[in-house]
Amino acid sequence: MLVNIIITIFLIIVILLIIFCPGANDGEDASFTHAKKEVLKNFKVTAYCPGACCNGKRYAGRVAIGRGMEYWLKQGYNICAVDPKVIPLKSLVIYKGKSYLAADTGSKVKGKHIDILLETHKKTVKFGVKKNQTITVISY
Ligand SMILES: [Zn+2]
């Protein structure tokens, strides 16, 4: 009888340790071990397209971190431009449930402002300017 109680208590402790042990997911999330997650408020969000209209002829299709827009899009990333003084390049920016790789910069993207890459210029016009937005930044 006493043995049964001891075994039951032992099992409960083991289960609690498995559930609450903070290191339990270390193996899966190894790349996120040093990630920093920040919620940032009062951001301005605008959009741009890959064309010369939004980048100038010289920078059309290019991004600040190199390899070109196409490469990162093919890797499955959405792209946004940031002010690297505010958001480090290559961070992940989460805005309205969608994540964007902070791959680009822009002469007009300064301070608390992100510029999201959309497929067409028409879509950027429709997107307009959104003020007082909240974003989440995951940086490494
Ligand atoms: Zn454009």
**How far is ligand 1, taken at its centre, from the CA of residue 121, in Å?**
4
pLDDT at 2: 72
The whole-number average pLDDT for the span 78-100 is 97
Confidence of residue 135 (pLDDT cuts 50, 70, 90): very high
Predicted local confidence at residue 3, as pLDDT: 74
- Residues linked to residue 57 through DSSP beta bridges, in sequence order: none
pLDDT digits (tens, 9 = 90+) for 19-72: 665 554 444 455 557 889 999 999 999 999 999 999 999 999 999 999 999 999
pLDDT band (50, 70, 90) for residue 14? low
**pTM for this structure?**
0.75
pLDDT at 92 over 70: yes
Q: What is the pLDDT of residue 21?
A: 59
* CATH class name, domain 34-139: mainly beta
CA of 118 to the centre of ligand 1 (A): 9
Say what the pLDDT of residue 39 is.
98
Ligand 1 geometric centre to CA of 48 (Å): 5
**Can you give the chain as a three-state secondary structure string?**
CHHHHHHHHHHHHHHHHHHHCCCCCCCCCHHHCCCEEEEEEEEEEEEECCCHHHHHHHHCCCCCCCCCHHHHHHCCCEEEECCCCCCCCCCEEEECCEEEEEEECCCCCCCCEEEEECCCHHHHHHHCCEEEEEEEEEEC
Alpha carbons 86 and 94: distance in angstroms, whole number: 15
The structural domains of the chain, with segments of one domain joined by +, span: 34-139
Structure confidence at residue 18 (pLDDT): 60
> 80 CA to middle of ligand 1, Å?
14
Pairwise CA distance, residues 109 & 29, whole Å: 32
